[in-house]
Amino acid sequence: MGWSRLSDNVKAFGQMFKGKIKASESLGGFGSIAKMYGHQWEWEHFWSVTAMLSLILAFMNLLPIPALDGGHVMFLLYEVVTGRKPSDKFMEYATMVGFILILALLIYANGLDIIRAYFK
């Protein structure tokens, strides 16, 4: 079931970049996560949602964004291919850019939640 969910999320992520799925309809922040759990406590549903969120976060962590693990792997591969390490200053700036991208995504996703809650 885990592989199936991960595969579905990866496919949906790809379709978002192709324009087949609107990011504004697919992304959500803390409010969307809370709604996924529902109003009634059910153990199976709770652990299913928690596992799905864990898989999504694991996949996103592997994206080649410099502040994430995928970004570090990208720079390590660059070092293996070229035989030289990127400068510390470059790594610092790349990490800052990656961090800003992550913050922008966080603000965008939570902003969508606010818009959905108050304006629809």
Length of the chain: 120
Overall pTM surpassing 0.85 (yes/no): no
**Overall domain count for the chain:** 1
What mean pLDDT, rounded, does the chain reach?
90
Q: How far is CA 63 from CA 1, 8, 35, 84, 102, in A?
A: 22, 16, 26, 23, 11
Best CA proximity match to 35, nearest among 118, 119, 117, 120: 117
Mean pLDDT over residues 10-21, rounded? 83
Is pLDDT of 2 > 80?
A: no
Range(s) of the domain holding residue 91: 2-119
Residue-wise pLDDT for 82-119, tens only, equals 999 999 999 999 999 999 999 999 999 999 999 999 98
Token representation of residue 28: 């959500």
Confidence of residue 7 (pLDDT cuts 50, 70, 90): confident
For residues 120 and 107, give the distance between their C-alpha atoms in angstroms, rounded to a whole number.
19
Q: Flag the least confident range among 23-27, 50-54, 72-76, 85-89.
A: 23-27
